[in-house]
Amino acid sequence: MKRNNLLMLFLILVLGLVLRLYKIDNPIADWHSWRQADTASVARMYVENGIDLLRPKYHDISNIASGFDNPEGWRFVEFPIYNAIHAVLYKTYPELGFDKWGRLTSTFISLGSLIFVYLLGKRFISPVGGLLAAFFFASLPFNIFFSRVILPEPLTVFFIISSLYLFSEYIEKEKKWAIYLSGFLFALALLMKPYIVFYGFAFIYLAWEKYKIKRSLKNVDFYIFLSLVASPFFFWRGWMWDGDHIRGIPHWKWAFNGDNIRFRPAFWWWLFEERLGRMILGVWAVVPFALGFLSNKKSKHPYFIHVLFASQIAFMATIATASVRHDYYQTLTIPAVSLALASGFLFLWNAKNLNKQLSRLMAVGCVSAGLFFSFYQIKEFYKINHPEIITAGEKANQTLPKDAVVIAPYNGDTAFLYQTKRRGFPYIVYPLTEMIEKHGAQYYISVNFDNQTKQVMEEYTVIDKTDKYVIVKLVKK
């Protein structure tokens, strides 16, 4: 039986890999290209200048992200582990291509997460439940797309899910190495995304179930665990806010409730009806998902899935504006969704009070329809809507000096600037003469022939022009 389970897990891993290879060659111009470009930009800087985890930089030297001029191009957001891995893999075998290596980095990391989702499902549902949870993690179209983007979320999920499993290993068997390694992995997850701390509710639940409050407070291992988790985070935050580094910290207060959307009708609509209901579950899979919270009562930890998903609701309610505006934030909920789907599917499959054939048909039908209708929406994410930024970027890279400072206006979106492989500005943030004289701008590249671009073409030297783009040297005619 164990060998069969391992074989099935291997086949699910293969399925997950194959599904994530869909359009793996896509340039960074698909959905959320601006955020992917910023992440990949740090990795590209590592390739060009060497890896320095404490001093990450990227190509955008404007004041758009932080409100401060950023001539060094500091990029202090997540701790750059993901970017370093991307850079190392590319330098190992550059023939595969830089962007493709970024997508493959996320893909391989996601497959690692899949294994730990299986282990959690096996422990808290059943061996079959673990395989089902792994299958859903591998095949949910929403997760497929966001498991092959160049973003830090896949690595964050891996760190926190592996940490949670190792913590449960300690709870079950009291192996000290497990809780210490769990603390280390949790620390890495927290360095990547501070709001991953909401997963802590699941850790607290497991500790409370076994030790209750008094024994938990007396457990020295828990204090060591907390120290391991918190110490790197506070060191990194202190380093980020030190001196000139503040120029590389983007605005962040808006993420909590900057537009007062928390708990308004639009909040529930976007996060639960649109994202969870339609994009992730494709409407039909809502049935087994909901039933997943009604089953599994005989488990040693019957409310583990409930607490895990509740922790994600708490996260979305706290980081309300960012969760609504950016759908990749829901990537963190996928492990809980996968476990609930697995539990609900088994509930329907093994239902004793329902017609066996009908309930099993319902289980398979709801999952199949959910996956189909979810993919029907998610497939739009793969589209390259503005290929001209790739064409213009390639031409700029061939034409301009490597150290050129460029202006690549694209409504503040850094995806176009990233394609040029040059440092510069994604927007004209000051009068053009000031950007040239004080901020070192040397070239203007545009794919939009608006009034601004036409004026630049009239006053400065055009060095290349097609019907798709124009490259202007910022020297007066």
* Residues with Cβ within 8 Å of residue 451, at least 6 apart in sequence: none
Element (H, E) at 405: strand 405-407
Length of the chain: 477
Beta 460-465 vs 470-476: how paired, if at all?
antiparallel
Q: Which amino acid, one-letter code, is at 164?
A: L
* Residues 342 and 168 sit within 8 Å (Cβ to Cβ): no
**What are the structural domain ranges in the chain?**
2-381, 388-476
334-349 and 153-173 helices cross at what angle (nearest 10)? 60
The C-alpha atoms of residue 95 and residue 90 are separated, in whole angstroms, by 8
Number of CB atoms found within 10 A of residue 117's CB: 26
* Residues with Cβ within 8 Å of residue 15, at least 6 apart in sequence: 135, 138, 139
> Token match 């399925």: residue?
15
The C-alpha atoms of residue 343 and residue 346 are separated, in whole angstroms, by 5
Residues of the chain with pLDDT under 70: 1, 296-298
Report pLDDT for 168: 97
Report pLDDT for 214: 87
- DSSP E strands in 32-142: the ranges are none
Q: Cα-flanking dihedrals φ and ψ of residue 440, to 5°?
A: 80, 15
The C-alpha atoms of residue 367 and residue 378 are separated, in whole angstroms, by 16
The C-alpha atoms of residue 10 and residue 127 are separated, in whole angstroms, by 14
The C-alpha atoms of residue 409 and residue 407 are separated, in whole angstroms, by 6
Token pair in block for residue 418:
């990233």
The C-alpha atoms of residue 185 and residue 70 are separated, in whole angstroms, by 32
The C-alpha atoms of residue 269 and residue 117 are separated, in whole angstroms, by 28
- Indicate the SS3 state at residue 443: strand
